[in-house]
Structure 1
Amino acid sequence: MTDPRRTKSVPGPTDRVVIVGAGLAGLSAGLYLLGSGRSVTVVERDSSVGGRVGAYAGVDYRIDNGATVLTMPELIGDALAAVGAAPSTIEPPLRIHKLDPSYHARFADGTSLNVHSDVDAMAAEVARVCGPQEAERYRALRRWLAQIFEAEFDRFMDADFDSPLGLVNSGAALKDLGKLLALRGFGKLGRQVDRLVHDQRLRRIFTFQALYAGVAPSRALAVYGAIAHMDTSLGVYFPEGGMRTIAESMAAAFTTAGGVLALGSGVERLGVTDGRVTSVHTGSGTVFDCDAVVLTPDASVSDRLLAPHTRRRPRRVLSSPSAVVIHGTIATSVTQGWQSRAHHTIDFGQAWERTFAEITARGGRGQLMSDPSLLITRAGVSDPSSIFIRDGVHREPLSVLAPCPNLDSAPLDWAALRDPYVREITSTLQRRGYHGLVDGFDIDHVDTPQSWLDKGMATGSPFAAAHTFGQTGPFRRKNLVPGITNVVLAGSSTVPGVGVPTVMLSGRLAAERITGRAEPRLGGSHSSEQLN
């Protein structure tokens, strides 16, 4: 049997590496490559780092423009350690804190529940809301989710694949595959969770994460219970200053260690000779010579750069649903009257199966949620530094995320629909008890499927390819490019997939394709205590 981590690597010289994109995947790859002794340049189209984990600037505040949920922050520590840095040694230091509760969940029947990562605290909360028998069922569910995660992480998430056949050539991978089969990991997530817990509210808490994978719980593979485990057992975290500080700190460590960061440099084309990229050309005329390239943009952007140099047509990809995200500020005097005082609140509508059917329908049959479930993020609850004074009034940043179909699923006219839909969402929340929201929410930015498309994200989805069976693990788009020997892909469009932990892993996996070895796991176990 072979070592599953011994996979194909970039042949020939790899001394000079150019990375396209300064999001988390690109910065992760940059840190690992720099730590391995390569000369590394990261080229970024925007004027700031972060990509989908960046920020929008208001008149007197900044607000995160992408992911707001952070799990497994030890992966950040691992990437920084590749260049001898640590969260506490960066200037300014990166301070990441565990949220408790991870989420506050509100339901259409008027009940609510705090989601704690501590098993005893969560069992007590489940007993309070759902009864003592359901608390015991929760403990069984938690054990099952942990077993799924442990069987899956090392071999199927934190691993490169040359082909699905690599699984049958590895004894360790076969052993973990057997564990997943025994755990019913290739059944349906919704069915397995339903088998273990009976309360409909709990079933939602432990399956809504399937949306991150781009499929409904009733259709998602049970292996994606690993995401629920990361969310509900390993804990949710938040860095002081916002999610954007993660990329900013990684960039600071990268440049301090000798890496070159070229911002405001959009890449227009690749120079290719004899099947190898030898140069990266920006729109301003700057040329970066290289021995290897890591491409981290959305697949459609990378494919445009690769198209002149490869005969293979990109296969058709089923995209995840999209989202409308409303960003702005609100007076703290308004939010003090709300029932929820959590950093993250999931406000569930009554509908569930219908909601997923509406936003995941294919072939132009998608619809906006008729009874929406929404994610409300208030960073000021756990990060007082984000609260500011405007005209003598204390205000806090506020974001509302509403899942919606992508443009293939529902080719809606978002230029006309955006403002009415924003009013519908805010009115819905006000009816649910968020009093003062309609008049008090000063909205500064709204992202829609059209704005995601304008940023180069296929089908207007920021969540890339859906994790269907044919787009998961060894079947997902590989990070090597047929026909071009020194290009490696990273980011949410390739392995292992969507989400902050997975794109961090994708950067490391891309680096390993170039270094030709598995980098040491400096963070050790799946624990984040060193970052608290």
Structure 2
Amino acid sequence: MSAGRTASVIGGGIAGLATAALLAAEGYTVTLLEARRELGGRAGLWEADGYRFDTGPSWYLMPEVFEHFFALLGTSASEQLELERLDPGYRVFTENGAAPLDIVADFEANVALFESIEPGAGARLRRYVASASDAYELALGRFLYNTFDDPRSLIGPDVLRRAPAIAGLGARSLNGLIQKHVRDPQLQQVLGYPAVFLGSSPFDVPSLYHLMSHLDFGDGVYYPQGGFSTIIDSIAALAEAGGVRILTDARVTAITTDSGTDDGADAGAAGATGARPKRSRRRRARATATGVRYLDAQGAEHALQSDIVVSAADLHFTETSLLPAELQSYPEEWWTERNPGPGAVLVMLGVRGSLPELSHHNLFFIDNWEDNFSAIYGSPSFIPDPASIYVCRPSASDPSAAPPDHENLFVLVPVPADPEIGSGGLGRRGSARVEGAADAAIQQIAQWAGIPDLALRVVLRRTVGPADFADDLNSWRGGALGPAHTLRQSAFFRGKNASSLVDGLYYAGGSTIPGIGLPMCLISAELVIKKLRGDRSGAPLHAPLAARTAATSSAPR
């Protein structure tokens, strides 16, 4: 076991909290340090005038990942959360004025919907989702829980049997695969929108990610009553019950190491995941993590010693701001050709009266989808207008999200990852470009959903811009989600979960493996435990953690 060993965890978002809880279950004495006053990171909470807003994630997907995580800690999702399956899962509005589409909980009804729009599309949807479910099963059992430290973990009868299909899925874009199954533009958008969850577009992610369609058509879409902050509260409570000490208003300024020894490493080698830009050969130092330095709310500096350090903060920030240049596995030049994913303008609205025109989840798709993504990811980039936007109405399912006879709307406008777009604010006090994007989104919702007086009914308004993501969350380039899941930023091409130059330094969160989103962050926490145990398999850990024997543990790295 790891009794007597200590760990410092940087960041109080879901990845940091989950990592701290699992480390405590492994026997570590854990201190978690969060720079802000509140926990949650991107999964934040804002309450005002009787409204409760989730300020980040709002889709509860991959329920088996949540269930497995809670099982590791000896509990269950049903014990920790009050989950409701949404029906419809989401509603789709289009620019051309067609009647909105509801994707419902009944798969057969969705098959019939596709068939009614495009003859033959119903049968092709069956085949598409069957393939997605098969790919998802393979990903769960072989890839998502993999540290990619042992190539043999990627090979087995299940992989070899699917090898031709996997090769084909990696060779074309998601959009290319979708076009083989449906021709109707609206149906193509329904199958392609999950690419946005991956911080990219269906034109750029490999078609292997069609597995995402298993989530809405197979698993279904859920909502935790009380909002997503209940997930954060639950994991924080489990961590504290396990003995984790949580410090808020504790801004880490450095990861401390021993003096380091010269190991003769070639600086141009890819000591971490992914090819690095070529640099001149020089000898690199190697060191061991010894703890962190941090500032408290009064600005006083403290030193905290520990046997290991896990940073669940943004990987770019961790590497370039908390480590000296000679100990950076991912120095600044490594990031120059990386894709940060989209930025976002978030708009939180309190609205007088009811909004039956909207479902809980709503997707607004413009006709020329490819141009929309080009505006966000192209060069030069700009805020698209109109934009393909997402609107969440949690008060449709959760009366506690808004005062009586009022509604709660959370609007996400994808924009370039660029802090120069500006910050948001309460009322209309944000930067001009942020508030302009918010105004355009409100007008778009009003027109497309048939709510002409929407703007007049807004009684509370707050915006968030890319500069807020950069300033408040240390997000690289103000990205809203994390590095995009393009082919060269997925799986073993993504940032690994341990430093190649500092022993005892590990990483968790959306900017490392396996990727972005709440479920992926939970898996990233588990991957830290696998790394510490020396477990190089591609399978999840057996639950609960407390049931493991001392023989299965191993020294760090």
TM-score by length of 1: 0.87
Going from structure 1 to structure 2, the CA distance change for 1:68 and 1:249 (only over 3 Å counts) comes to same
**SS of residue paired to 1:435:** coil
Going from structure 1 to structure 2, the CA distance change for 1:82 and 1:146 (only over 3 Å counts) comes to closer
Where does the alignment leave 5 or more consecutive residues of structure 2 unmatched? 261-286, 424-430, 545-557
Task: Give me the whole-angstrom Cα distance separating, in 1, the residues matched to 2:361 and 2:199.
Answer: 20
Name the counterpart of 2:481: 463
Name the counterpart of 2:247: 262
Decide which of 113, 134, 144 is 1:147's aligned counterpart.
134
Task: Give me the whole-angstrom Cα distance separating, in 2, the residues matched to 1:14 and 1:490.
Answer: 22
Decide which of 405, 410, 413 is 1:402's aligned counterpart.
413
Q: Are residue 486 (structure 1) and residue 504 (structure 2) matched?
A: yes
Going from structure 1 to structure 2, the CA distance change for 1:209 and 1:253 (only over 3 Å counts) comes to same
**SS of residue paired to 2:253:** strand
Q: Is the 8 A contact 2:352 2:459 kept in 1?
A: no
Number of positions where the alignment pairs a residue of Structure 1 with one of Structure 2: 495
The worse-fitting range, judged by mean Cα deviation, of 249-258 and 33-42 is 33-42
Task: Give me the whole-angstrom Cα distance separating, in 2, the residues matched to 1:330 and 1:252.
Answer: 33
Q: Are residue 302 (structure 1) and residue 318 (structure 2) matched?
A: yes
RMSD (Å) for aligned C-alpha atoms? 2.4
Q: Are residue 136 (structure 1) and residue 136 (structure 2) matched?
A: no
Q: Is the 8 A contact 2:421 2:465 kept in 1?
A: no
Q: Is the 8 A contact 2:376 2:416 kept in 1?
A: yes
Q: Are residue 318 (structure 1) and residue 339 (structure 2) matched?
A: yes
**SS of residue paired to 2:504:** strand
Name the counterpart of 2:84: 97
**SS of residue paired to 1:41:** strand
Q: Is the 8 A contact 1:162 1:478 kept in 2?
A: no
The worse-fitting range, judged by mean Cα deviation, of 180-189 and 202-211 is 180-189
Q: Percent same amino acid at aligned positions?
A: 25
Q: Is the 8 A contact 1:83 1:257 kept in 2?
A: no
Task: Give me the whole-angstrom Cα distance separating, in 1, the residues matched to 2:144 and 2:328.
Answer: 29
The worse-fitting range, judged by mean Cα deviation, of 446-455 and 179-188 is 179-188
Q: Are residue 505 (structure 1) and residue 526 (structure 2) matched?
A: no
Q: Which amino acid aligns with 2:516?
A: V
Q: Which amino acid aligns with 1:145?
A: A
Task: Give me the whole-angstrom Cα distance separating, in 2, the residues matched to 1:117 and 1:185.
Answer: 30
Decide which of 344, 350, 370 is 1:329's aligned counterpart.
350
Q: Are residue 126 (structure 1) and residue 125 (structure 2) matched?
A: no
Decide which of 222, 228, 231 is 2:207's aligned counterpart.
222
Name the counterpart of 1:3: none
Q: Are residue 51 (structure 1) and residue 41 (structure 2) matched?
A: yes
Q: Is the 8 A contact 2:365 2:389 kept in 1?
A: yes
Decide which of 216, 236, 240 is 2:225's aligned counterpart.
240
Task: Give me the whole-angstrom Cα distance separating, in 1, the residues matched to 2:10 and 2:158.
Answer: 32
**SS of residue paired to 1:297:** coil
Q: Is the 8 A contact 2:174 2:207 kept in 1?
A: yes
Task: Give me the whole-angstrom Cα distance separating, in 2, the residues matched to 1:187 and 1:14.
Answer: 50
Going from structure 1 to structure 2, the CA distance change for 1:311 and 1:373 (only over 3 Å counts) comes to closer
Task: Give me the whole-angstrom Cα distance separating, in 2, the residues matched to 1:127 and 1:147.
Answer: 23
Q: Is the 8 A contact 2:166 2:208 kept in 1?
A: no
Q: Are residue 86 (structure 1) and residue 76 (structure 2) matched?
A: yes
Q: Which amino acid aligns with 1:375?
A: Y
Q: Is the 8 A contact 1:272 1:309 kept in 2?
A: no
Task: Give me the whole-angstrom Cα distance separating, in 2, the residues matched to 1:119 and 1:169.
Answer: 32
Deviations 1:9-58 (A, max 9, x none): xxx99821111112111122122222222222221112222111111122
Q: Are residue 36 (structure 1) and residue 26 (structure 2) matched?
A: yes
**SS of residue paired to 1:233:** helix
Name the counterpart of 1:278: 290
Task: Give me the whole-angstrom Cα distance separating, in 2, the residues matched to 1:174 and 1:381.
Answer: 42
**SS of residue paired to 2:462:** strand
Name the counterpart of 2:373: 356
Name the counterpart of 2:195: 210
Going from structure 1 to structure 2, the CA distance change for 1:176 and 1:261 (only over 3 Å counts) comes to farther
**SS of residue paired to 2:42:** helix
Deviations 1:319-370 (A, max 9, x none): 111111101211233x14x2x3x100112222211111111103xx012113
Q: Which amino acid aligns with 1:498?
A: I
Name the counterpart of 1:527: none
Task: Give me the whole-angstrom Cα distance separating, in 2, the residues matched to 1:251 and 1:413.
Answer: 32
**SS of residue paired to 2:384:** coil
Q: Which amino acid aligns with 2:291?
A: S
Alpha-carbon distance, 1:64 to partner: 0.3
Alpha-carbon distance, 1:124 to partner: 2.7
